[in-house]
Amino acid sequence: MDWFRTFLIVSLAILGWNLIYQWNADYGVKPGSEMQANQFQAKNDSDEAQSVQSMNDNDSGVPLVESQDKKQAEASKNASQGKDLNQDFAPTQASNAKKVDSPATLKEVVQVKTDVFTAGIELNGGDLVALALNKYPVSIDRPQDPFVMLTSSDRAKFIAETGLIGSSARDLDVSKGEGRPSFSSPSKRFKMKGDVLVVPLSYENANGVKFEKRYIFTKGSYKIQIEHVIVNQSDSTWVGRPYGRLRRSDFADPSETGGFGLPTFLGAAYWDPEEKFTKLKFSDIEDEAEDNKTLLNKTIKGSWIGVMQHYFVTAWAPDKDDQNLYRATYNANPKLPSGKEFVLDAVLPQVETSAGETNTVTQTLYVGPKIQARLKETAHGLNLAVDYGPLFFISDALMGIMKFIYGVVGNYGFSIILLTVFVKLLLFPLSAKGYKSMAHLREVGPKLTALKKKYGDDRQKMSEELMKLYKKEKINPLGGCLPMIVQMPVFLALYWALLESVELRQAPFIFWIQDLSLMDPLFVLPLLMGASMWFQQRLNPEPPDPMQAKIMKFMPVVMTFLFLFFPSGLVLYWLTNNILSIAQQTYITKKFAKNKATSQST
């Protein structure tokens, strides 16, 4: 029925607009965050980009690390934050801090360069305070600048902290006034030359227990193994718990490229065998903390916890057989630009090392792109960080086909076109039924017009006569709509697959389109899409209601405006779908008319 089809399209448009508005409200760039995001990625006026570039050019310099004077404030913050976790897992320790490490110690950073990472490890605490992805440039205009994942600057803070807590451990224990342990390193600069690079850090406590923290980087891998080697040369048993922590200030997603109305999720996430993949909005973590509650404080076997952003993920993935504690907390920190810091913890089971023994505990940190195969091999359920929504099983299948096509043609733009052709052919039987119904409605158009003139002011009589006409002509009034409804899940799944796939980031198509994840800079594809939608509309019978007819004529204009700011890969898919729909509908309409003429002649 025409009114139903119009209602469906308008409802979908209104729903889409409301979703866009709500997503912007929930996950979009906040007024105070937009400036931070711009500063976070600025090329020439940013300390971060300059230091990364310096390291790329001459293998010197420290990427994304605060200067000495800015680190002085950070020292006192480490002490105050350490008290929280320490009280939970080592309640016998005191809570007052007497002193912290000197700024000179805080400034020391070990530089690491592998084939995929440019990183910095701070000797005070042995934390990963800077990391950039060498194979993922910030933008196509800045191919020499790697995309920054972890940073410790005055503009944004996102670091991966590791250590040992407990009655015998020093990390986060400020009761003795010692602060974080100060490691030593055999070198201040490491560069990968083979398949594996090991960065050893070590220190010895006053009781004669030696600790070595080893960062193990593997060629081509975005997984970082962190080994804690405990050599107990004391006369008593050492007891402690290894932990991994992500600390992130509140700044916008620097990888967000979707354009107006298409922000993706930025926040925390974890895996639970019972609840499966669970996302935690930063705002919810903050709200719970303000009510003196913890949004996440759960012991789970295996699992993982991390920060999700568009195209990239940072996650701690402890051993799958351990019972690990996962926490998501919030700190109000006026020393940070945003005044906010979100903290995600993965705390491993207690480790006991008897006198004279050596113990080794391993943690895994993933920092890199959302490539499903790599995420799946890192931890169970981590591949769901590629958030395809409730139709993920369809999206997975479609992405598998598109990657296969890409392996043949070597261009993701043409892969999108060929994938759309495949989907349209697959759903052609359903489409054909809808197009036949529309062709039949167009044929009885003059009769519909006559009914409108005769009963235009009497809606009840008009509806009765309309149903009689449909029955006489053997027309299913929903015939043109139901096939569209059945196909909608497939199209939505493909939509999300294209939006979430890191493979489309900075992937070129042809001529002026050099990044399928960005909007068309010349607006050619959106205008062609709008024209194709208008032409497709001309193939359908005009609704008998003048108001419906006006709405339908205005729809291509509205959709064109919305698509102006969509990623060009999505617009390319929609344009291809429209062109194929026009071809299919034209074919079915002509075939219907030919069969009708043949039946009448016989």
pLDDT for 31 equals 33
Average pLDDT for residues 257-278, to the nearest whole number?
A: 77
User: What is the CB-side half-sphere exposure of residue 223 using CA atoms within 13 A?
Assistant: 18
39 pLDDT above the threshold of 60? no
Q: pLDDT band for position 423 (50/70/90)? A: confident
Q: pLDDT band for position 41 (50/70/90)? A: very low
The DSSP 8-state label assigned to residue 567 in this structure reads B
145 in helix, strand or coil? Answer: strand
Greatest CA separation for the chain: 106
CATH architecture of the region 22-387 = Distorted Sandwich (2.70)
Contacts of 206 (CB under 8 A, 6+ apart): none
Average pLDDT, the chain: 77
**Residue ranges of domains in the chain:** 22-387, 395-601
210-234 pLDDT, tens digit each? 999 999 999 999 999 999 999 999 8
pLDDT for 73 equals 40
Torsion angle (degrees, nearest 10) of CA 184, 189, 192, 194: -60
274: buried, middle or exposed (CB in 10 Å: 19+, 13-18, 0-12)? exposed
346 in helix, strand or coil? Answer: strand
Average pLDDT for residues 524-536, to the nearest whole number?
A: 90
Average pLDDT for residues 447-475, to the nearest whole number?
A: 71
pLDDT for 538 equals 78
Average pLDDT for residues 85-106, to the nearest whole number?
A: 30
Residue with tokens 């006559």: 450
pLDDT for 62 equals 34
126-164 pLDDT, tens digit each? 999 999 999 999 988 888 999 999 998 878 899 999 999
pLDDT for 57 equals 38
pLDDT for 198 equals 97
List the one residue out of 586, 255, 243 whose CA is nearest residue 442: 586
132 in helix, strand or coil? Answer: strand
The DSSP 8-state label assigned to residue 385 in this structure reads G
Q: How far apart (Å, rounded) are the C-alpha atoms in residues 477 and 44?
A: 62
Residue with the bigger pLDDT between 98 and 477: it is: 477
Percent of residues in the chain assigned helix, strand, coil, to nearest 5: 45, 25, 30
pLDDT for 486 equals 66
404 pLDDT above the threshold of 90? yes
List the one residue out of 451, 594, 26 whose CA is nearest residue 267: 26
pLDDT for 331 equals 87
Highest mean pLDDT among 63-67, 98-102, 126-130: 126-130
Average pLDDT for residues 387-395, to the nearest whole number?
A: 85
- Residues 190 and 62: beta-carbon distance below 8 Å: no
- Residues 304 and 346: beta-carbon distance below 8 Å: yes
pLDDT for 293 equals 84
List the one residue out of 171, 149, 170 whose CA is nearest residue 159: 149
The DSSP 8-state label assigned to residue 262 in this structure reads -
Q: How far apart (Å, rounded) are the C-alpha atoms in residues 582 and 154?
A: 55
Q: How far apart (Å, rounded) are the C-alpha atoms in residues 507 and 509?
A: 7
Q: pLDDT band for position 319 (50/70/90)? A: confident
DSSP track, 351-367: EEE-TT-EEEEEEEEEE
Residue with the bigger pLDDT between 50 and 200: it is: 200
List the one residue out of 246, 256, 280, 307 whose CA is nearest residue 34: 256
93 pLDDT above the threshold of 50? no
Helical segments of 380-481, H only: 392-409, 412-426, 428-443, 445-455, 459-473
133 in helix, strand or coil? Answer: strand
527 pLDDT above the threshold of 80? yes
Report the DSSP beta bridge partners of residue 230.
211, 359
With b meaning 16 or more CB within 10 Å and e meaning fewer, what string describes 87-123?
eebbeebeeebeebbebebbbbbbbbbbebbbbbbbb
Amino acid at 340: K
Q: How far apart (Å, rounded) are the C-alpha atoms in residues 116 and 241?
A: 30
Average pLDDT for residues 354-360, to the nearest whole number?
A: 92
With b meaning 16 or more CB within 10 Å and e meaning fewer, what string describes 486-502?
ebeebbbbbbbbbbbbb
Both tokens of 545, joined, read 């209601």
pLDDT for 393 equals 87
Q: How far apart (Å, rounded) are the C-alpha atoms in residues 290 and 156?
A: 22
33 pLDDT above the threshold of 50? no
Contacts of 322 (CB under 8 A, 6+ apart): 301, 302, 348, 349
Percent above pLDDT 70 for the chain? 70
- Residues 288 and 280: beta-carbon distance below 8 Å: no
Report the DSSP beta bridge partners of residue 299.
325
pLDDT for 495 equals 80
- Residues 496 and 388: beta-carbon distance below 8 Å: yes
Task: Give residue 203's region: left, alpha or beta (phi > 0; psi -120 to 50).
Answer: beta
390: buried, middle or exposed (CB in 10 Å: 19+, 13-18, 0-12)? exposed
Q: What do you get for the CA distance between the two ends of the chain, in Å?
A: 30
Average pLDDT for residues 566-590, to the nearest whole number?
A: 86
Q: Sign of the C-alpha dihedral, residues 41, 42, 47, 53?
A: positive
19 pLDDT above the threshold of 70? no
List the one residue out of 161, 171, 181, 162 whose CA is nearest residue 86: 171
Query: 29-33, 163-167, 279-283, 330-334: which range is least confident on average?
Result: 29-33
Strands 157-165 and 238-249: antiparallel
Query: 142-151, 232-241, 412-421, 475-484: which range is least confident on average?
Result: 475-484
- Residues 201 and 183: beta-carbon distance below 8 Å: yes
pLDDT for 15 equals 45
173: buried, middle or exposed (CB in 10 Å: 19+, 13-18, 0-12)? buried
100 pLDDT above the threshold of 50? no
314 pLDDT above the threshold of 90? yes
- Residues 413 and 572: beta-carbon distance below 8 Å: yes
92 in helix, strand or coil? Answer: coil
Helix (H) or strand (E) holding 330: strand 323-332
162-182 pLDDT, tens digit each? 999 887 776 654 445 557 888
Give me the helix-helix angle, 482-500 and 428-443, nearest 10°. 130
Q: Give how far Cα 271 sits from Cα of 106, 274, 313, Å.
A: 34, 9, 14
30 in helix, strand or coil? Answer: coil
Contacts of 188 (CB under 8 A, 6+ apart): 108, 109, 110, 111
Report the DSSP beta bridge partners of residue 139.
142
